[in-house]
Amino acid sequence: MLPRLIHIGSFYLPTYGVMLAIAYLTAIAVLRRKARREGLPEQKILDLSIYVLGAAILGAKLLLVIVDLRAGQPITLMGVLRSGGVFYGGLVCATAVGIWYMRRHHLPAWKIADMGAPAIALGEAIGRWGCFAAGCCWGKEWHGPWAVTFTDPFTAENVGTPLNQPLHPTQIYLSINAFLIFLALQWAYRRKNFDGEVFWLYVLLYAITRSILEIWRGDAVRGFLIPGVLSTSQFIGILAALFSLGMLFYLSRRPREVEA
């Protein structure tokens, strides 16, 4: 669609990077606003956001490399730098670093996780439009009424997008899905019964809906555990859904005064 927002000679500004920056800044703003309402230290929340952001980028790219290695895909430094990576890798790594930071600074971990979950979902809803502009995460061939066709050779060079072929706009599906999850989490946040409920509800909703949306994905390079049947993301989604159900049950039974 528009992989390069600005293109002058050999210099170009990738639309994906711009959308990703907007997504991160929006997510941080949402988190800081909630922190202010909850009376939590804004500077520590901002520092936490920066740590989590770095971990998310690193984790997403690390899982991308692992998936590419399993699929036998060639790995180049520029290819890794240009790609956004695999979302689940970023989520797992960011969660681990976030827990470490909150324990170190004696912050209420599950309360902040609940505040951050809607921010993550909104950030993804924005960031997926960067995927759409770049042509990554494309869908299967489809000749339906809202099919999209990529024509810019740069997208094929950069991420391997099939050109001049109508496809499912899976990037838009993922964006709409993330925004609907954001609205559901905002509603749940105001009505939660225990700390940690909103975060694990997010993991559960994302795991289920992402696994369903994988049906229309066409980029085979994302990796399969069972070729053509079970993708890497679907497998992780099954584990994440089961684990989130277990955590929701555990936290709901825990005494209210105990903080993880």
Q: Is the pLDDT of residue 65 over 60?
A: yes
In this predicted structure, the answer to whether residue 260 has a pLDDT above a threshold of 50 is: no
- The predicted-structure confidence for 116-138, as pLDDT tens digits, reads as follows 999 999 999 999 999 999 888 89
Q: Output the six-digit token pair for 136.
A: 């990554």
Q: Assess contact for 137 and 168: CB atoms under 8 A.
A: no
Q: pLDDT of 155-189, one tens digit each?
A: 888 788 999 999 999 999 999 999 999 999 999 99
**With contact defined as beta carbons under 8 Å apart, do 142 and 168 qualify?**
yes
Count CB-CB contacts under 10 A for residue 210: 23
Torsions phi, psi for 108 (to 5 deg): -70, 100
Distance CA 24, CA 248 (A): 27
Helices (H), the chain: 15-38, 42-71, 77-82, 87-104, 109-134, 153-159, 170-189, 197-213, 232-253
DSSP 163: P
Distances from the Cα of 180 to the Cα of 77, 187, 206, 209, angstroms: 35, 11, 10, 11
